[in-house]
Structure 1
Amino acid sequence: MHWDKIELSNYPPQLTYQDVLTLFQDFTISPDFVLPNVKNLAYPLRTFIRIAGEQEAERAVQELCWSKVGGRQINVRMVEETGHQEMEVAVADVADEMKIGIVNTARVYNPHLTTKILEVRECMQGTANFAFLQARDPVTVSSKPEAHMLSTDDKAKWELVMAGRSEGWNWKMKDGSGRLAALKDLQDTLQRQGIMRKLWGQWEGSSALDMH
């Protein structure tokens, strides 16, 4: 049987495997598609589905594109067969958007970071994914002389602001879920700590010398 690949995108993050089967119930699709396993993800991912026959794939595009699922207009289009490259690109796109959101969240809840350079870095150790938000002072005319000296190994002194983590078995991370979950954990931690810091600042115990 010849399979043609289509791309399903702009779907709500709560979309389930069964939802996809229901959506394509009038078509013969391969059951081996994968949905990102990230709960409450703010940005929708792209999922690639194989449909039996080019005509059926084209019909799916015509009938399902821009239909509403979970309050969103989904996008369905034909794609070329390129293995896992599409998913990798999709994950990278979402990760970049999440990093922008993390930096913006950090500046909202931490005014002292508005003048600093912020950057999100990722690393993986074993089955764990880590996302680190780090900050450093920009080099200005008034900076110390040593700050203007170019490092031979291209390094800078960063300050750790906050970190996020996710852990799972390798087979669960092939779709990028582990990476995105770590970024999501970092953003959630920033928001949670920011809210608590604000409440702490309004609490009388944050300025009183003796609460007794």
Structure 2
Amino acid sequence: MLKRLFFVSFVFYLCSLIYVEDNSYVHAINKDVVFFDSGTAINGRTMLPMRNIFESLDATVAWDSSTQTITASKGNTTIQLKVNSYKAIVNGKETFLDNPPTIMNSTTMVPVRFVSESLKLPVEWDSTLRVVNIITEGKNIFIYVNDPTINTDKNSKINNYNQLVDLHNNLLFVLQNLEYEKSLYPNYSQDYRNILEKQLTLSKLKLKVMQRMEVILTEIIRQG
């Protein structure tokens, strides 16, 4: 009787561990996917409209048009940037940029990696997808970097759409490879779960890309 009671208690204990682990796992893949297709490569550095990057990172941002200075704050970190200046100030200390903020088509663009790393957030670059990935609390931010070699003057929407088609196709390719890789591991293993988490995240990104493509295509059709 005692042995049976011990066995039943042990089974409940294992189930509780699995439940807790599954709970944390579900939480891990439940990050909101944020997607920007307005990333631009300048001198090999990814630039994004300042409000897009700062607000997506939950930082407050202020713009002083008289001095063309950007001031952003998050937690205990304050960053100051100035258009066309290689000098930046982070928490009162001077540092230097590889690429300065610049104004493109009346939009102030700032260097993504510098901003993210100043806020102590890791930045990953996926050369296959041409996507910058920043993971922050509650968010998985993806920034697609437009190919700077493609002419984007009067046909900018069409070019943007075509580049997103390429991104969509590359995502399908990556997801297929992950499906094969996942089949190499037992479905209770951590490797399997890690691949599944990546698949789910990239599937969310694929949906965001398709939604953006639909918006752009609608705009192209309306313009004739």
TM-score (norm: length of structure 2)? 0.26
Point out the structure with the larger helix share: 2
Q: Which has the higher strand share?
A: 2
